[in-house]
Amino acid sequence: MNNTLNLLKIFLKNNFLFFKLRKSGKTKREQLSTFLFVLVLFILTGFLMFAYLSAIKGAFSLLTNFNQSPDAILSLVMIISQFLILIFGTIGVISVFYLSNDTERLIPLPIKPAEIVFARFVSILINQYIVLIPFILSAFIYYGILSKASLLYWLKLPIIYLLLPVIPLALITIIVMVLMRLVNFGKNKDKLIIIGSIVLMSLAVLPQIIGTKTIKDSGKDVEKTAVVKFLSSSDGLVHIIGEKFPPVIWATKGFTRGTTKEGITGFSMYLGTSILLFILLLYLGKLIFYKGLVGIDETQTGNKEKIDFSETSFSGSSSGIITIFKREFKEMNRTPMFFLNGVIAALFMPAIMLLWISLNDDEGKYKGLFSLFAENNSVLLVFIIAAMLFFSSGINGTPGSSFSREGKNFWYSKVLPISYSKQLAGKYLHALMIATIGYIGGFLIVFFSLKINLLLILKGSLLTIILTSISIAASLLIDLRKPILDWENHRKAMKQNPNVFISIFGIMGFVALLGFIVYKLMSSKIIDLQSLYIILIVFLSLLSIAIHIFLFKKADKLYQRLEI
């Protein structure tokens, strides 16, 4: 037991989601700058939460008016969270279980494999609990307030919340351990990890699409049955949402039905399944975890790579900007953790869009809805397209970790015969390339799946491009201001980097604030939508120019103040 607790402390220290934030500057000016930065971030995050909770309140009223149980809100929130855990949990499990630098030091010690598996799994769970607070815990609490939930609801809330990531994470961990045990390629393990992660994430998506296609192919009787189910029972929507993942139905009913038969049965099945999967995980860990570690040490690149200072490193026709771009490109592609959280993450939102359309676009209802928008309010459709494309391209951790990813090798950048502004431009170009990957994915889905007019997509794209440029510049500025350079695990440089968290949530909050202002102006009818679109383009363009000028003007000063 003591071994397990000690291991858990080590893994939490090595794999915790956030680093301790540095103290603010000693001067009053630096302290004021830090205070203003935190205040702005707090306000933007507040608008993001306001928009999210407002959507929950609207859904609650809508379901109540349709004589449907508002419990479907909990089901929807939970099913989305399970899907997100399956996607991002794959990356987390592989990195924590098989890419941690402490692995080779633990193998010779008299520690049981099950103890290591237990401690690593719990450390991932704790990270997930933190990540789910703004999305899940806030929804649970707000739903309880809206529904005037009983005391039993509030007593069960922490239990359901703690159990929520267990089933999907246990399933992913079991699959990863089996995969690592069966397929072990030694020196090619890094490539295997990337390929395996892509396969596992695809497996989380494809069954949903295939299952939906099967239902569609079976004829309209199934559709009629679904409609009857929806209309004839107040729990119809709950069952429709949860039929792809039954534990969501168990959790929802166990959460909201109190001491009724449905409530006790649902809670018992959810709790029992979680416990059984956890026991199976520990048992398999005892049998196969160590056997899957063979060759892992060959893929640990660490944070102290050999640097080539020969003149040929800087020779050739490439400018300094392209040189830095190539370095960023190679470093991301050869490091599994960076590749998964950069390139693969850029395709995440397009994949979500494709999955949602595949699951729900029976009889082309989305295409018809967007066509209706195009005929009656094309400018509003442009705003919707811009939001879809921006979340496909602009929400990525690459720019927010550009400097942190260099780690202890950052001193190399300070002695390169390339100006700091050119180094910054090279990093900007690389972040823009990653954003472009997501944008292209979103563009193709909007154009080919939703059949939206190309001109409207291009108008929306203009807004997206400007917003993305603001997002990249702001994220680079945040990371350059206080990069996290003291790390030994690639996971900490990107996935556990507070700068990534701050930049992503800050940008999302800014977009939520922008959406709120646009909504208010549209509701008041003070200005027509076409003029609003033009004003928005002009405002965002000026903001983009201002933040770019500030970023590149401050580049030299910010670079010089950084020390290893």
Per-residue pLDDT tens digits for 364-388 = 545 555 555 555 567 888 888 898 8
**In the predicted model, what is the mean pLDDT of residues 96-107?**
69
Distance (Å, whole) CA 452 – CA 306: 50
Tell me how far apart the 2 most distant CA atoms of the chain are, in Å.
76
- Checking if the pLDDT of 259 tops 70, the result is yes
Residue-level pLDDT at 181: 74
Residue-level pLDDT at 464: 94
- Checking if the pLDDT of 62 tops 70, the result is yes
- Checking if the pLDDT of 458 tops 70, the result is yes
Residue-level pLDDT at 298: 46
- Range of weakest confidence among 160-169, 253-262, 347-356: 347-356
Instruction: Determine if residue 219 is left, alpha or beta; phi over 0 gives left, psi from -120 to 50 gives alpha, anything else beta.
Output: left
More confident residue, 165 or 70: 165
**In the predicted model, what is the mean pLDDT of residues 2-14?**
62
More confident residue, 559 or 84: 559
Of the candidates 359, 526, 512, 536, the one whose C-alpha atom is nearest the C-alpha of residue 460 is: 536
217, HSE (Cβ side, Cα atoms, 13 Å): 6
**In the predicted model, what is the mean pLDDT of residues 222-244?**
48
Residue-level pLDDT at 212: 47
| Cβ-based burial of 377 (10 A; exposed 0-12, middle 13-18, buried ≥19) | middle
Residue-level pLDDT at 543: 95
Residue-level pLDDT at 552: 92
Residue-level pLDDT at 465: 94
Q: Which of the four pLDDT bands, split at 50, 70 and 90, describes residue 292?
A: low
Residue-level pLDDT at 316: 45
- At 431, list the tokens: 């972040």
Q: Are 277 and 264 in contact (CB under 8 A)?
A: no
**CA quadruple 115, 116, 118, 119: dihedral sign:** positive
More confident residue, 394 or 464: 464
Directed axis angle between helix 454-481 and helix 498-524, to 10°? 140
Q: Which residue has the tokens 């180094």?
A: 423
Residue 131 one-letter amino acid: V
Residue-level pLDDT at 369: 53
275, HSE (Cβ side, Cα atoms, 13 Å): 7
pLDDT in tens, 322-353: 999 999 998 888 777 788 778 877 877 787 77
Distance (Å, whole) CA 443 – CA 438: 9
Q: Which of the four pLDDT bands, split at 50, 70 and 90, describes residue 101?
A: low
- At 163, list the tokens: 């159990």
Q: Which residue has the tokens 């929802």?
A: 252
Q: Which of the four pLDDT bands, split at 50, 70 and 90, describes residue 238?
A: low
Q: Which of the four pLDDT bands, split at 50, 70 and 90, describes residue 98?
A: confident
Residue-level pLDDT at 367: 53
- Averaged confidence pLDDT in the chain: 76
Q: What percent of the chain has pLDDT over 70?
A: 70
- Checking if the pLDDT of 99 tops 60, the result is yes
Distance (Å, whole) CA 232 – CA 225: 10
- Range of weakest confidence among 145-149, 221-225, 267-271, 502-506: 221-225
- Checking if the pLDDT of 13 tops 80, the result is no
Distance (Å, whole) CA 272 – CA 237: 25
Q: Are 515 and 442 in contact (CB under 8 A)?
A: no
- Checking if the pLDDT of 361 tops 60, the result is no
More confident residue, 9 or 213: 9
More confident residue, 131 or 362: 131
pLDDT in tens, 187-217: 555 665 666 666 666 665 555 555 445 444 4
Rounded alpha-carbon distances, angstroms, from residue 117 to 11, 98, 156, 292 = 11, 11, 28, 12
Q: What letter does residue 19 receive in the DSSP assignment? A: P
Residue-level pLDDT at 104: 66
- Checking if the pLDDT of 227 tops 50, the result is no
**In the predicted model, what is the mean pLDDT of residues 249-270?**
83
- Checking if the pLDDT of 20 tops 60, the result is no
Residue-level pLDDT at 525: 81
**In the predicted model, what is the mean pLDDT of residues 254-266?**
82
**In the predicted model, what is the mean pLDDT of residues 155-182?**
86
Of the candidates 292, 344, 283, 349, the one whose C-alpha atom is nearest the C-alpha of residue 94 is: 292
More confident residue, 400 or 90: 400
Distance (Å, whole) CA 169 – CA 82: 9
Range of 79-93, 98-112, 503-517 with top mean pLDDT: 503-517
More confident residue, 558 or 239: 558
